[in-house]
Amino acid sequence: MAMSINTNAGAMVALQSLSATNRFLETTQMRVTTGLRVNGPKDDAATFAIAQNMRGDIAGMAAVKTNLALGQSIVNVAIDAGKAIADLLTEMKAKSVQASQEGLDTDSYVALHQEFTSLRAQIESIVATAEFNGKNLIDSASTNLKVLSTVDGSSITVTAQQIDATSLGLATLTLSNATVAATALTAISQAIIDVSNALASLGAGARRIDIQADFTGKLMDILKQGVGNLVDADLAQESANLQSFQIKQQLGVQALAIANAGPQSILALFGR
């Protein structure tokens, strides 16, 4: 091959090799920095598209999980309130039994009635405050709760339970004498059954929401793992590649320097 200072084939080859090594090194450094093997469509268009679709599914499930958590809170507040009401009804029943006894004096009836009405007022107070995020499942105006359960728009319906004093038939009860106390006792016994049924219904709804929330969380974990399998970098392998490309880069620089020094030998042909 003719010796020329205009065309240095060795330098061209060395430069091409060094440029390729630099590109590989840049890619490896990006993978190490981000932890991703596929950082964009240029890295692997098909895999990137699949991963993006899966990420969209994960985002949708995260929104569903948030709605399920909100539904859990609403139903749990209603259940706790219902349990408190059931306890108050038990106390009211005890007062009614006491007042059903014949022969009590007026002061005794007055005292029992005051305790009775106080307990009833407490039921109303609990019902009024059994609200979460503007939703109350146990007052007289309550409506069914629909909780988004899937990204496709399916929902879990929790039936509202009216267990306020009026709905339970307690609003006009008194313990002024044994006769009306007996009537109150019958009404309260039925109210206890009604509240127990309401709690059973709310508990079933809460259980469905809990199961769906647990399943959604597990499904999100599976999808995240799938995305990781597609796009995550093997950092052990990338670490080895990084060291290899760094060595190749140093050797490439030396090879280019040697190739560039080649034309210097031409000067010897013109020496004196």
**Complete DSSP assignment for 121-137:** HHHHHHHHH-EETTEES
Question: Which band of pLDDT confidence, cut at 50, 70 and 90, is reported for residue 3?
Answer: low
Please check the confidence at residue 263 and state whether its pLDDT lies above 80: no
Beta bridge partners of residue 146, listed in sequence order: 157
Mean pLDDT of the 14-24 span: 86
User: Tens of pLDDT along 162-199?
Assistant: 999 999 999 999 998 999 999 999 999 999 999 999 99
pLDDT number for residue 271: 64
Tokens (6 digits) for 92: 């009211």
pLDDT number for residue 191: 96
127 CB contacts (<8 Å, ≥6 apart)? 81, 85, 136, 138, 139, 163, 164, 165
pLDDT number for residue 202: 96
**Complete DSSP assignment for the chain:** ----SS--HHHHHHHHHHHHHHHHHHHHHHHHHHSBS--STTT-HHHHHHHHHHHHHHHHHHHHHHHHHHHHHHHHHHHHHHHHHHHHHHHHHHHHHHHTSTT--HHHHHHHHHHHHHHHHHHHHHHHH-EETTEESSSTT---EEEE-STTS-EEEE-----STTTTT-TT---SSHHHHHHHHHHHHHHHHHHHHHHHHHHHHHHHHHHHHHHHHHHHHHHHHHHHHHHB--HHHHHHHHHHHHHHHHHHHHHHHHHHHGGGGGGGGG--
φ/ψ bin of 249: left (φ > 0), alpha (ψ from -120 to 50), beta (otherwise): alpha
pLDDT number for residue 217: 94
User: Across the chain, what does the average pLDDT equal?
Assistant: 90
Q: Which residues of 188-198 are buried (b: 16+ CB within 10 A; e: fewer)?
A: beebbebbeeb
Q: Please, what sign has the CA dihedral across residues 150, 155, 156, 160?
A: positive
Please check the confidence at residue 221 and state whether its pLDDT lies above 60: yes
Mean pLDDT of the 129-147 span: 94
Question: Which band of pLDDT confidence, cut at 50, 70 and 90, is reported for residue 11?
Answer: confident
Beta bridge partners of residue 131, listed in sequence order: 136
What is the model's pTM? Answer: 0.78
pLDDT number for residue 28: 85
Of 163, 156, 168, the residue nearest 198 (C-alpha):
163
* Lowest mean per-residue pLDDT among 8-12, 123-127, 162-166: 8-12
